Amino acid sequence: MNSEHAPRGEETVRLSSVRKVYGSAALPVLALDGVSAGFDAGTFTAVMGPSGSGKSTLLHCAAGLDRPTEGGVVVGGTDLGTLDETALTLLRRERIGFVFQSFNLVSALTAEQNVSLPLRLAGRRVNPVETRAALAEVGLAGRGDHRPSRLSGGEQQRVAIARALITGPAVVFADEPTGALDTRNSHGVLNLLRDLADQRGQTVIMVTHDPVAAAHADRVIFLADGRVVQEMTREITAESVATRLASLEARAC
Ligand SMILES: Nc1ncnc2c1ncn2[C@@H]1O[C@H](COP(=O)(O)OP(=O)(O)OP(=O)(O)O)[C@@H](O)[C@H]1O
């Protein structure tokens, strides 16, 4: 797997005054209201906030899945606003990994074929040794010929992580990656995400509702009404995160 990433401490993702308005001119919905934030190489950030506060919108704009109405997003030195749809698709394929709550594996493909899919889509050569190494890295050595239906939820999510890693992306976006998992499997997946930042110097940005999941991060950003309202970088525990979240949720009611 390719592992050329920005040196630690260097910013991999930057959002500058990002606004995102959905809906029509008559009925606009302001999902992000001037969000500025940077994410350094080798860091693991959790994004939290009450329901509807803009977490998924932030992730979608930062990952080039959606375009901001105003403001800019830079990923790995490239201003996404300068890219047309084709170039944006290529950048996502090459530079960004995705891990979703629902795993998003292709059911007709084996674990190995799912992992190598991003390489095939990019027209790159698939080296089976590399694919098996990616599966071994997430603890699934010898399971490469299993289809998703023969794997547990935790195992499927680990296949999804191996798939997110195979192109050596600078940044991995995770949207509720443990939402469908039990405690033990959640812990395994969160530790894998932690390792991406610590051992590979990748930038991990995770949206979650779960304070226990957020406590695996080294920074927690809290959103409310489309704005970054708080940030924690120290003493991040499930309890401290839950307390902050509860106070924001109380304000949102
Ligand atoms: N495609 C869309 N069209 C219209 N409004 C949208 C769209 N996507 C999101 N919104 C609105 O934008 C706001 C932010 O939504 P978003 O999904 O980013 O919040 P969230 O914090 O991820 O919420 P949750 O925790 O419930 O998943 C909400 O008011 C939502 O209804």
Going from N- to C-terminal start, the domains of the chain cover: 11-108+171-252
Complex ipTM more than 0.90, yes or no: yes
29 in ligand 1 pocket by Cβ < 6 Å?
Answer: yes
**pLDDT tens column, 187-239:** 888 999 999 999 989 999 999 999 999 999 999 999 999 999 999 999 999 99
Closest-CA residue, ligand 1 atom 16, reads: 54
23 in ligand 1 pocket by Cβ < 6 Å?
Answer: yes
Q: What does pLDDT average to over the chain?
A: 92
Q: How confident is the model at residue 2 (pLDDT cuts 50, 70, 90)?
A: very low
Contact yes or no for 189/161 (Cβ under 8 A): yes
11-108+171-252 fold: Rossmann fold (3.40.50)
Report pLDDT for 4: 54
Residue 152: which residues within 8 A CB-CB, separation 6 or more? Answer: 185
pLDDT at 253 over 70: no
50 in ligand 1 pocket by Cβ < 6 Å?
Answer: no
Distance 120 CA to ligand 1 centre (A): 32
60 in ligand 1 pocket by Cβ < 6 Å?
Answer: no
